[in-house]
Amino acid sequence: MQAPKNGFFYVIDRIDGRVISAEPITDVTWASRIDLETGRPVEAANARYRNGPFVGRPGTAGAHNWHPMAFSPQTGLVYLTVRESQTIFSADPDYAQRPRGVFNTGNRRQTSFGAVDLLAWDPVHQREAWRAPMGGGGVLATAGGLVFQGRGQVTGEFVAYRADTGEQVWAHDTPNGILAGAVTYSIDGVQYIAVTTGAGGGGMTGGTDARERQPGRVIAFRLDGDATLPPEPGPAPPPNPSAERWSGAQIARGEQVYAETCARCHGMAAASSNVIPDLRRSMSLTDSAFWDAIVMDGMLTPNGMVGFRERISEADSHALRGYISSRAQTLQREIARGGQGANQRASAGAMGEQ
C-alpha cells in the first residue's frame, strides 16, 4: 500500500505488482483516474501545460511526501499525513540550461498550500475513515490501539489519537517541531516510544524563530517517565546588518542566487527557524573575509555547510551578503516596531519544491 506524491492511494499485489485499486486521497486535477489494466494514470487535458498554464493538484510538494505511513492490523486502516496544495505550471519561454545543482525543469511554478490533516484511510474500500486536523509528520500505529504523530514547526507537540476514531487522547510539548515517524520498542517489559524532533531546513518546514539555535534531539516516552527536558533556549542574537552599501542590482542578484542556492536550507527570504542558522543574525555578515571562508572555502564543511566556490563567483558571494544584510535591516526595523520578523512564506518560485 503506497500513497506517493501524486494524490492517489495505491493497493498493489505484492506477488506480481498488479495494481488492485488506486483512488484519490485529495483533490486531483492532473489525472482523472488510474487505469487498473496498465497501472498508468489517465491524464487530464493540458496536464503537461503545452497549451498554456495548468493548475495542478496536488502541487509539487505532493499530497503525501516522505513521512512514514502506518498500518494497524487491528483497525485495518492506514494512517498518513495528507496535504492540500496546488501548483500553477507554465512553460518558461526564457529557459536556458542552468548550472548543475539548480532546478532545470524548464517551467515556472507557483505553489500554494491548504490544510494538512492526519488521514485514516480504509484501503479495502478506498475511502476515508476519519481525519484529524493539524496533521504533522510521520505516523506510528501501536497494538495498544493508538496512533502517534508529531507536529509543529518551531516548537512542537507529540500527539496520540485513538486508532479507531481519531479522537486525540494525549499530547506532550516538545522543544522542536517534529517531522520524523516515531518507533516503539520494549525493554524488560517496559514499552518506549521514541521520536526524533527537529523540523530541519527552514525552506519548506520552518517558521521563523527568535530563539537561540536549537538543534533537534531524540525524545523517548514511557508510562510514568520522569525525565525533564533541558531549559528553553535564550533569545536569538540580534540581526547583524553590515554598514557597507550595495547597489539595487547587486541586492537583486543576491536574492536570485540565494533563492536558487541557499534558501532550501537557510529558509525562504533569508528567514529561518534557526536550526540551520538564520543568516540575518550571523556574525559573518559584517566580515567579508569570515563570510568567504565559510561560503566560498567551506570552513564549516564538517558541520554540513560546504563551500560554494565551484558554484558561485566572488561577485555573487558579495551580492549574497548584500541581500542578506538588507534582509537583516528589514528584520531590525520589524523588531524595533515590536514584531519578531515574520517569515515570508511566499510561494516557492525560483526555489522550487522538493
Q: 77 or 270: whose CB is closer to ligand HEC?
A: 270
Which residues are CB-contacts of 138 (< 8 A; sequence separation ≥ 6)? 67, 68, 69, 81, 149, 150, 179, 180, 181, 182
CB atoms < 10 A from the CB of 76, how many? Answer: 12
- DSSP classification of residue 116: E
Taking the complex as a whole, how short is the minimal distance between the CB of residue 337 and ligand HEC, in angstroms?
Answer: 25
**Angle, in degrees to the nearest 10, between helices 288-295 and 314-336:** 110
Do 343 and 267 contact (CB within 8 A), yes or no?
yes
Cell numbers given for 19 = 495494481
Q: Footprint of ligand HEC on this chain (CB under 6 A)?
A: 261-262, 264-266, 276-277, 279, 282-284, 291, 294-295, 300, 303-305, 308, 320
Taking the complex as a whole, how short is the minimal distance between the CB of residue 305 and ligand HEC, in angstroms?
Answer: 3
Q: 88 or 299: whose CB is closer to ligand HEC?
A: 299
Q: 147 or 275: whose CB is closer to ligand HEC?
A: 275
C-alpha atoms less than 13 angstroms from C-alpha of 230 in its C-beta half-sphere:
9
Q: 139 or 199: whose CB is closer to ligand HEC?
A: 199
Taking the complex as a whole, how short is the minimal distance between the CB of residue 231 and ligand HEC, in angstroms?
Answer: 21
Taking the complex as a whole, how short is the minimal distance between the CB of residue 261 and ligand HEC, in angstroms?
Answer: 4
Taking the complex as a whole, how short is the minimal distance between the CB of residue 332 and ligand HEC, in angstroms?
Answer: 16
Q: 186 or 303: whose CB is closer to ligand HEC?
A: 303
Do 249 and 326 contact (CB within 8 A), yes or no?
no
Which residues are CB-contacts of 111 (< 8 A; sequence separation ≥ 6)? 59, 60, 61, 85, 86, 87, 88, 347, 348, 353
Write the burial class of residue 68 (CB in 10 Å: 0-12 exposed, 13-18 middle, 19+ buried).
Answer: middle
Q: 6 or 343: whose CB is closer to ligand HEC?
A: 343
Taking the complex as a whole, how short is the minimal distance between the CB of residue 288 and ligand HEC, in angstroms?
Answer: 11
